[in-house]
Amino acid sequence: MSDDTPRPGFWKRLTQGLTRTASNLSTGITDLFTKRKLDATTIEDLEDVLIRADLGVETSARIAEVVGKGRYDKEIEPEEVRGLVAAEIEKVLAPVAMPLVFESYAKPFVLLMVGVNGSGKTTTIGKLASVLRAQRKKVVLAAGDTFRAAATEQLKVWAERTGAALVSRAPGADAAGVAFDALAQAKADDADVLIIDTAGRLQNRAELMAELEKIVRVVRKQDPTAPHAVVLTLDATVGQNALSQVEAFQRVAGVTGLVMTKLDGTARGGILVALAAKFGLPVHLIGVGEGIDDLQPFAARDFARAVVGLDD
Ligand SMILES: Nc1nc2c(ncn2[C@@H]2O[C@H](COP(=O)(O)OP(=O)(O)OP(=O)(O)O)[C@@H](O)[C@H]2O)c(=O)[nH]1
């Protein structure tokens, strides 16, 4: 996905979206390092501040250690600490900041969207469809969340808005059947990309996982190389629970990349750093607000600086 968002708007949305986490981290650092010499206690306290922002125990310990190295018994400005912390966060995030690439070797390129209800699947599909259509790509959307009629309705709105084709069936139909038909249609129409929406009922995890496995199996009957990408949407406000969601979806669907939404709804946006450190999965997009423009390409340096309250 190319990013043609004007830079000032992009930075403003990002910093506004990350305000809660940034003030959490920034205030924590200011309180610790204002007119105080750096010692073992301040470093331990810094580690706690980072852990409370959900950066993960190991990463927090490592960052605190880097900040302390060679600086004991010296005064250090909070701004310098913010800079050091941002640099370390950037190191963790840089390897995972990757746009979603719709390789043209696969036609159609099959993208399977997974994630629990309300985590931002539909918004992500809408965003991707808009970007692809702006590039004049032919897109088919498959309404694979057959459990909820509202999900199909939402997808229909996006299909109409973007000029993508929609394949859907009556509520309660077999989701794998929808995926199968959609791939057949995408092939027949010579479409570039097929995006398959799926259900996200966490209440019945076993059933949901079986359904996803079946979708993958059925799609492979027509194209053994599909799905070419499996993108998991995660709601940042679930905190540490995001880690177990990645594990669960990875087991059944082989997640190839992540989208993290609702970073604006939490003071613990450091969860993205914990995820990057633990799984190393590509992060394609982040959501920092309700609107479609708030779903942005993920840039490691920008995120790292914004999240500790530093300027561009
Ligand atoms: N504040 C905020 N809201 C978001 C963000 N991303 C999505 N939302 C909102 O979260 C709600 C759920 O998003 P959807 O895209 O519908 O999520 P979904 O996973 O498809 O959910 P279901 O349709 O319930 O399965 C919507 O009201 C979105 O507007 C974000 O980054 N920040």
178-199 per-position pLDDT tens digit: 999 999 999 999 999 999 999 9
* Residue 148 binned pLDDT confidence (cut-offs 50, 70, 90): confident
The pLDDT value recorded for residue 8 is 65
CA atoms within 13 A on the CB side of 114: 31
39 CB burial (10 A radius; 0-12, 13-18, 19+): middle
Assess whether the C-beta atom of 261 lies below 6 angstroms from ligand 1. yes
The pLDDT value recorded for residue 121 is 95
Ligand 1 center to residue 119 CA distance, Å?
A: 6
pTM over 0.90: yes
Question: Is residue 168 within 8 Å of residue 153, measured between CB atoms?
Answer: no
CA 293/CA 138 separation, integer angstroms? 22
Assess whether the C-beta atom of 120 lies below 6 angstroms from ligand 1. yes
Mean pLDDT of the chain: 93
- Both tokens of 219, joined, read 């799609």
- Both tokens of 71, joined, read 């600086």
Q: Is 226 annotated as a binding residue?
A: no
Instruction: Determine the atom of ligand 1 nearest the C-alpha atom of 118.
Output: 21
Assess whether the C-beta atom of 288 lies below 6 angstroms from ligand 1. yes
Assess whether the C-beta atom of 144 lies below 6 angstroms from ligand 1. no
2 Cβ contact partners less than 8 Å away, ≥ 6 residues apart: 99, 131, 135
Q: Is 201 annotated as a binding residue?
A: yes
CA 293/CA 137 separation, integer angstroms? 20
The pLDDT value recorded for residue 2 is 45
